[in-house]
Amino acid sequence: MTRKTLIIGNWKMNLTMHEASLYLHKLMEQLPVRRDVEVVVAPTMLTLQSLSLQIKRRIVKLAAQNCYWRDHGPYTGEVPASHLHGMVDYVIIGHSERRHIFMESDKDIRFKVQAALRNRLQPILCIGETAHERTLGETREVLQDQIVNGLANITAEEIDHVVIAYEPVWAIGSGEYAQPSDLAKVLKVIRQQITHLFGKEAAEAVRVVYGGSVSVDNASDYLAVAGLDGLLIGGASLDAYQFTEIVKKAHKE
Ligand code: PEP
């Protein structure tokens, strides 16, 4: 089974409407149309509708950085997955900033994954251990728990549409990053857990990407890791030139 490489830029709470539009204009000019890499950016919620009219989805797709899991109702300030349908292809769920700053629980994350799938969006489920958990040697258990909790109640068919982003919390925005040579162990834990829950075929179909202080300098090392299907990039994705350079490194054709 061939899995398409996925390069995702998470802009977080950066880039105004005007800046985002200029960025995408540049990106679409610079990026060659190639079929071997899927390029996705996640701008702020407010800009998505307008950007969705600007983008050429053959070149770049959009992701939301979050969504709410109910489809409508009295939930002031929330944006449901049902309203994102048609505007974005992906939605990032369970980013560590949402887990730790906004106190999202496993239940919230599980419901959001289900809401994304119900509304035909592909969830990018972020998982990863904190520095403390890493020191205690609990990485395996943390990842297993986050997978079990995040993917409860979904079917083996639905798992095909899920992307798992391994983002060790200590590596996000810190300049410290997981050694590419250490990722094999983590990939094994993730695919074993998916096999356990959904079977071998599902585990081979699901894409797993890495995120945490990826830069132009270290991207190639990650892209060479067997079984890793791409990257989730925060800081370095804010610069269209750097992001484009990383995408170019991912092209194999
Ligand atoms: C992220 O926010 O998902 C991320 C990986 O950030 P950075 O690349 O800046 O570490």
The first and second tokens of residue 182, run together, are: 């250490």
The per-residue pLDDT for range 143-161, each reduced to its tens digit, is: 999 999 999 999 989 999 9
Q: Is 234's C-beta closer than 6 angstroms to any atom of ligand 1?
A: yes
User: What pLDDT score does 146 carry?
Assistant: 98
**Ligand 1 proximity of 128 Cβ (cutoff 6 Å):** no
Ranges in the chain, pLDDT < 50: none
Identify the pLDDT of residue 101. Answer: 97
Q: What is the per-residue pLDDT for 252?
A: 78
Report the nearest atom of ligand 1 relative to the CA of 167: 5
The pLDDT, as a whole number, for residue 253 is 63
Residue 95 among the catalytic residues: yes
Ligand 1 center from residue 233 Cα (angstroms): 5
Sort 34 into a burial class: Cβ within 10 Å, 0-12 / 13-18 / 19+.
middle
Q: Is 66 in the pocket of ligand 1 (CB under 6 A)?
A: no
pLDDT at 48: 98
How many helices (H) and strands (E) the chain has is answered by 11, 8
Confidence (pLDDT) at 145: 98
Check residue 1 and give its pLDDT.
64
Q: How many whole angstroms separate alpha carbon 82 and alpha carbon 151?
A: 19
| pLDDT in the model for residue 86 | 95
Q: Which of the listed CATH numbers 3.30.365.10, 3.90.1150.10, 3.30.360.10, 3.20.20.70 matches domain 5-250?
A: 3.20.20.70
**pLDDT score of 32:** 78
Q: What is the pLDDT of residue 140?
A: 97
- Which residue, by CA, sits nearest to atom 2 of ligand 1? 234
Tokens 């960025």 sit on residue: 23
- DSSP secondary structure code for residue 65 in this structure: S
